[in-house]
Amino acid sequence: MLILSRRPNESLRIGNNVVITVVGFSGNQIRLGISAPPNVVIDREEVHLRKIAEHIPTLSPVTATLNPVASPAAPSPRVRTARRRPEVPRRSRLQAE
């Protein structure tokens, strides 16, 4: 596991397409902003584990074709995921002055 220190408004990159920015923090909670292409699945850990437990084939196209668990007659349960906000360019302190 790689452990990094970041301050608010500082970012880190994963590959060429994913940027994670520390938006802020309060007490023991950290707010993160994630910019990624629409084909990248972003879930909280507990949502990811629930998807695996419910055998929802949305994790990857390969698992959907190799492991057809849900029958076509049974409706799939709805899973709430975080909505992505449109990316808004932010002004740095240097630009504001």
Predicted confidence at residue 77, as pLDDT, reads: 53
Kindly report whether the global pTM for this prediction surpasses the value 0.75: no
pLDDT bracket for residue 91 (50, 70, 90): low
Strand order across the 18-26 sheet: 11-14, 18-26, 29-35
- Please check the confidence at residue 65 and state whether its pLDDT lies above 50: no
